[in-house]
Structure 1
Amino acid sequence: MCAAILFGLGRSWRAQVARCAFTRFNLAFAAALAAFLLLGGAGLNLLDRAGRLPAPPLTATNCIDEKFSFMRDHVDMAPGLIAIGSSVTWRNLDFSVLGEPGLAALRPLNAAPCFLHVNETAYLTRFYLNNMPSVETVLSVFAMRDFEACEGDGAFFDATTARRYMFDRWPGGPLYFMNFRPMLFFRDAWHLPTMRSGADQTRTLEMDPWGSGPIALNPPKIGGNLVIAEACFEHLERLQRDMAARNVRWIVVLLPPMQAWLNAYDRDGERDRAWRAEVARRLTAESVTLLDAREGFPVQDSQFTDPAHFQWSAVSAFTRWIFSRAHLPGVPAS
């Protein structure tokens, strides 16, 4: 068509050539985009049928996106208690020990993902509470590593997009095109079946019916040294005030130390005791229940996978210890 128009154009031929080239470019771009979306959608469908489709990439971190996908599927249960924190919370709670009376009374849900510091835990907690009015109690398990870095407000995902996906049930398909990261996507797709089943314990994404993430690794790893960031305590204190204003009870549990880590980096235990004392100094609201597992929960190094996680075989006893001291309605005292 452009050739016919150009025949006998006179002086405006250059403008017409440019206009025709621009039209051809737009048509080619639209065709390429349509093909990309069509093939991409078909590819996502095939991966989903094969059980290899990663969760929609709200953060492009698989253990966070998997938890958000889990939450989308379970928020209708209107939980009364949610666990929020890093993997220290995700992997160290076993709600099955509550039995039917406790489960019915609390309707617990482990909403914790992974890799979070205190400021990010605070951001995630506010997000959940803004969207889950049924929650009356929040449970967080902390280790020293949660306090390593707390720069900024902790906004590690877009709250509007996450709300639409998790709570408004908008389709997750567009997220794959908005936040597509090819290397991460195809790596996860390749390993996903063993990650979700727990067969690959080095990067397991397995979750029990309440969202907790069992893990078992031998031998235990000591890990590296830690440096506490003062800003984390400030975020902890602000979150305490925020939950008190919402009339939400906050149960904060401090993980006991791994002796092998203390021997390597804190031989006299002074830094560990100072961290625990500072948490206790900051959390003074009546709405907060602080449980320090260093006192009253004896544990051996063989019961750890690393300083921040218990072997799953030890988690049930740890969870019983928490709830025996939390004094929650419907939960036996021991």
Structure 2
Amino acid sequence: MNEQTKIRVQQNKPRAGLFRRYLFSVSATMLILLSAYVGSLAVLARAGVLPPPPLVNELCADRKLQWLRNNMPARPDLLVVGSSIAWRDVDSAEFVAHDPRARPVNGGMCHAEVNQSGFVTKFLLDHMPSVETVVLVLVPQDFTDCTKTPARLFSPAVATRYVFGHDWSYGFYLNRFAPVALVHNVREIHRLQDGVDRFDSMKMTRYGDGPLRITGNRGLMYGTVGGRDPACVAALHTLAISVAAKGRRLFVAMAPLNPDWVKQYDPSGARRANLLAAIHNALAGTGANFWNGTAAFKGTPNDFTDAIHINWPAAKRYSALMAKALDPDPS
């Protein structure tokens, strides 16, 4: 080895040492931060304010996935799906009261358009082979925008590992690292648990229903329904075909509408009539059943918390009517 080579080797040794120390420092820092983050999650969990992992990145829907992970009933045979209407307006205990053999589970998720409800239904049916009947609960507001709203609410593979695989829960917070959203959701959960917003409770029944047990209302909240999106009607047809192909029965139910909303935004009934005609066309030839629960319920404004959500006593009455309509053999 000549003199110049020796000099270069001696110069490289300090550089290699510095690089190794740099890698060690970075790795140690990341490990400390990771440990601190997981530790923070554990503290929030013990305090009862840890939000669910952001699989949907919408607190209400993520809370339903968390509930399904922790409370999945054994061999459910009746699956309720839809938007917050299916979650808030259905008391699944009424299905059991009508038929003690029934094993219902409520898979309704907030804010879902018809195409998103179809996506959730397919996901749940893929993992619930015991389900025989799917109850889809709808209102006109669910048909407004399926063209621009992506049907895929979450990654099926990730949700499968979380809900049905019961993988390490903290790993899902690491995969979707979002500390700002986490802090926001912690505040939301704390607010909801404190009862500050009595119209937005996250409490669920043993079947996954989300009852609203309140007095008074917050006004109609929902204005006029614009044009019906043909993509939503097409999504309903696709869902009906998919459920039938899996050998299950689809029962489509319209939910109650506040009479004050009807009086203000559809006094002639033309919009509802057009929607019902579109639904009938979408379900024709699929084997699905349809029930006009809006007409059957005949509620008063006092039954409602807004234009489309009903209080729990009203939900029990509506669900009892649905259970009778759902029964193919009333005897």
Decide: shared fold, TM above 0.5.
yes
Deviations 1:84-114 (A, max 9, x none): 1110101111122344572x42200111121
Residue 68 of structure 2: aligned partner: 71
Q: How does 1:136-215 map to 2 (within 5 A)?
A: 136-151=132-147, 154-193=151-190, 195-196=192-193, 200-215=197-212
> Closer, same or farther in 2 for the Cα pair 1:22/1:315, shift >3 Å?
same
Change (3 A) 1:218 1:20: farther
CA 1:146–1:15 in 2, change beyond 3 Å: closer, same or farther? farther
Q: CA deviation at 1:307?
A: 2.2
Q: Does 1:298 align with 2:313?
A: no
Alignment match, 2:217: 219
Q: Distance in 2 between matches of 1:98 and 1:127?
A: 23
Q: Which amino acid in the other structure matches residue 67 of structure 1?
A: K
Give the partner amino acid of 1:291. Answer: W
Shift in Å, 1:19: 4.8
Contact 2:82–2:117 under 8 Å retained in 1: yes
- Equivalences, count: 323
Match of 1:126 in 2: 122
Shift of 1:198: 5.8
Amino acid at match of 1:276: L
Query: In structure 2, what residue type is equivalent to 1:176?
Result: Y
Aligned to 2:124, what secondary structure does the other structure show?
A: helix
Letter in 1 for 2:152: A
Superposition deviation, residue 12 in structure 1: 6.5
Deviation at 1:173, TM superposition (A): 0.6
SS at 2:72's partner residue?
helix
1:17–1:262: structure 2 CA closer, same or farther, 3 Å change rule?
Answer: farther
Runs (5+) with no aligned partner, structure 2? none
CA spacing shift, 1:217–1:100, aligned 2, 3 Å: closer
Q: Match for residue 324 of structure 1?
A: 324
Report the 3-state secondary structure (helix = DSSP H, G, I; strand = E; otherwise coil) of the residue aligned with 2:36.
helix
- Offset of residue 218 of structure 1: 2.5
2: distance between equivalents of 1:101 and 1:266? 34
Query: 2:288 is aligned with what amino acid?
Result: V
**Alignment check: 8 A CA contact 2:98 2:320 kept:** no
Whole-Å separation in 2 of the counterparts to 1:100 and 1:199: 33
* 1:56 and 1:175 in contact (8 A); partners too: yes
Once the two structures are superposed, the pairs formed by residues 1-334 of structure 1 within 5 Å of their partners are 10-11=7-8, 19-20=16-17, 22-99=19-96, 102=99, 104-151=100-147, 154-193=151-190, 195-196=192-193, 200-215=197-212, 216=214, 218-222=216-220, 223-227=222-226, 228-285=228-285, 287-327=287-327
Q: Distance in 2 between matches of 1:291 and 1:59?
A: 30
Contact 1:195 1:206 in 2 (8 A): no
Letter in 1 for 2:233: F
The structural deviation recorded for 1:71 is 0.7
SS at match of 1:83: strand
- Matched residues in 1 for 2:107 and 2:219: separation? 26
Asked if the contact 1:47–1:53 (Cα under 8 Å) also holds between the matched residues in 2, the reply is yes
Identity of aligned residues (%): 27
Cα separation, 2, equivalents of 1:197 and 1:314 = 25
Asked whether the 8 Å contact 2:83–2:108 carries over to 1, the reply is yes
The letter of the residue matching 2:86 is: T
8 Å Cα contact 1:220-1:304 kept in structure 2:
no
Change (3 A) 1:83 1:196: farther
SS at structure 2 position matched to 1:150: coil
CA contact (8 A) 1:197 1:206 kept: no
C-alpha change, 1:26 and 1:220, in structure 2 (3 Å) is same
Report SS of the residue matched to 1:77: coil
Stretch of structure 1 that moved more, 183-192 or 10-19:
10-19
- Judged with a 3 Å threshold, the aligned counterparts in structure 2 of structure 1 residues 253 and 160 are, in CA distance, closer, same or farther, namely same
**Amino acid of the residue matched to residue 106 of structure 1?**
A
1:23-42 CA distance string (max 9 Å, x none):
34422221121111111121
**In structure 1, distance between residues paired with 2:232 and 2:105:** 25
Cα 1:141/1:14, change in 2 over 3 Å:
farther
For normalisation by structure 2, the TM-score amounts to: 0.89
8 Å CA contact 1:248, 1:287 repeated in 2 = no
Say if 2:82 and 2:138, in contact at 8 Å, map to a contact too: yes
